[in-house]
Amino acid sequence: MTKETFSLRIIEMQKTLYHVAYSLLRQPQDREDAVQECIRKAWEKQGRLREEKTFRAWVTRILINECYNILRHQSRVIPRESLPETEVPQKENPVLHDAILRLNDKLRVPIVLYYMEGYEVADIAKLMRIPLGTVKTRLLRARKLLEEMMKEEI
């Protein structure tokens, strides 16, 4: 893959990368670090990519791993109440946005990948390295929880 092709593919994925990082990491600087490190690792290890058609899933998996690395290495625990408010894009539903952020990682990541990024259930299973049935169950549980949270807000 040429430098130009790699750059174009990463630029096309920019929104996806930030959505995935946003679903896992609370702090904006952590999200930016994860995306930057993901791109660096993808560039360095692009020779390991077997098929170019799997580039999107491959880079997304690198990002998920990098987000988990950041979470693992954080030595401080900050209570949710003390976290600063995050900016919500104006076009999005802030109530739904907050509800999605309250989901635990296991439920939030499949929801973001499926609904916001358009991944198929089978692709999510591969990315998260979990069985297909587990992805379906997590999506179902997340939808039910989101529905309950949305009813509480109304």
Domains in the chain with CATH codes: 1-85 (1.10.1740.10), 88-154 (1.10.10.10)
Distance CA 27, CA 106 (A): 18
Q: Give the C-alpha separation, 151 to 154, whole Å.
A: 5
Given a cut of 50, whether residue 88 has pLDDT beyond it is: no
> What CA–CA distances, in Å, run from 103 to 55, 96, 106, 144?
28, 11, 8, 11
Q: Which pLDDT value is given to residue 76?
A: 52
Distance CA 127, CA 60 (A): 7
Which residue is it, tokens 């692009």? 46
Q: Over range 81-102, report the average pLDDT.
A: 65
The confidence score (pLDDT) of residue 35 equals 95
pLDDT in tens, 40-71: 999 999 888 888 888 999 999 999 999 999 98
pLDDT over threshold 70, residue 91: no
Evaluate if pTM is beyond 0.85.
Answer: no
State yes or no: pLDDT of 81 exceeds 60.
no
